Every structure is written in structure tokens, then in C-alpha cells.
Amino acid sequence: MKIKKSINRIIWYDLETTGFNPYHNNIIEIAAIDNLGNNLNVLLKIKDPLPEKIVEITNITDDLLKDEGIDQYEGLNEFNKFLKLYDEDNKYKNRTYLVAHNNDSFDQLFLKYQFLRYKINCNLDIYKYIDTFRLSQLVSKTLNSHSLKTLTTIYKVKNERAHRAMSDTLALQAIFYKLIDRAIKTFNIDTLDDIIDKIKNPKYD
């Protein structure tokens, strides 16, 4: 898919967290890249020790957060600043897209609650969201799994540090373009808004 930089800003992002509940768990890592050459990767400190399962999955440790992490408000605000890089000239107003895997049921919900919890001055509803999990479901009906791990295998995308936010984000970006190409060929659509509409209303011709 050819996406002109002057028209859209696409932000791919990933969160590593202490669990699946946005109301009771915390974000410990945020990574984001966009199609304009900008990137962000921050570790966020938490008060309690990390669950052993999270350490096992992510290889993020209490010592790593202590040595390299910043506090929750500061980390979330760094992401807020990343989102608002082009706000002053309104260049990408209504044309900024946030892409994540499981965006609808995880990342977006986590982000919105944590921004509210820490009083981050940002209206996240002004952005448009694309969930590559749901996009994969749309274009690959026969797959039994639409996990990021499965898709990296199918599309031969490297993810050398799976479950670390930046590595997952880079893999996500590559998979996104593969899925977009399939959506264009399958449904004869060529804008990101068309993609969003098709995910929400998956009627097959």
C-alpha cells in the first residue's frame, strides 16, 4: 500500500504490562515508531516487584526497571509528546492512526485508562485506531491463530526479542503492510479509513 507521508501519520506502538487488566495492572514498557522516521522506547518503573511470569515472558526485570526506568507519569507523558509531535501545525489532524496488535481489546483500553489515571493531558479519542489482530481475521479467515507470533511465522518477519516493546513494534509494522496489501487485493480498497470501515463492517461480496 502506498501511503503518502504528507497525508497520513501512522504510529505503530506496543505496550508491555504487568498483566491484562488495565484497571489493576501497570505499563512497564512503551515503544512506538511512525512513518515519518520518529521513534520512542521507554521503560516505566512500578512500585511492586514484577510477577515472575512477566519476567519470564519479557525478560524485563526489577533491576532493569530500577536502573533504566522512569516514573509512570513521565513515561506516559513521553508517549503523549510523541503523539503530539505535529499538533502545532495541525498537519495530521484527523489523519493520525494508532496501530497495535489487539488494539481494540488491550492496548487502546490500557492506554486510555492509564492516561486518565495519571491525568495525562491528551484526548486519545481524536486518533483513529487499527487493530492488526482484527485485520488479520478479516483477510485470513482460515487461520486458526492470529497472534503476533503466528503472523511473524506466516509472513516471515523477524522478531528477535519477542515481548519486548520495540521488537514487537517493528514486527507489527512489517506485518501491518502485509495485511494491508491483502486487504487491498481482497476488497479493492485503498485508504486507511476504508480499512477501518471494513474491519467494523466485514461484509463479504
pLDDT digits (tens, 9 = 90+) for 67-111: 999 999 999 999 999 999 999 888 899 999 999 999 999 999 999
- Reported confidence tier of residue 205, pLDDT bands at 50, 70, 90: low
* Helix runs in 31-107, H state only: 52-58, 62-68, 72-83
Question: Whole-model pTM?
Answer: 0.94
Distance CA 204, CA 198 (A): 9
| Candidate from 43-47, 126-130, 200-204 with smallest mean pLDDT | 200-204
Distance CA 135, CA 12 (A): 14
Look up residue 63 and give its three cell numbers.
533491576
Instruction: Tell me what pLDDT residue 141 has.
Output: 86
> Is pLDDT of 115 > 90?
yes
Instruction: Tell me what pLDDT residue 2 has.
Output: 45
Distance CA 127, CA 86 (A): 13
Instruction: Tell me what pLDDT residue 5 has.
Output: 47
Q: Tell me what the pLDDT averaged over the chain comes to.
A: 94
Distance CA 181, CA 1 (A): 6
- Reported confidence tier of residue 19, pLDDT bands at 50, 70, 90: very high
Determine the average pLDDT of the residues in 98-127.
Answer: 97
Domains of the chain: 9-200 (3.30.420.10)
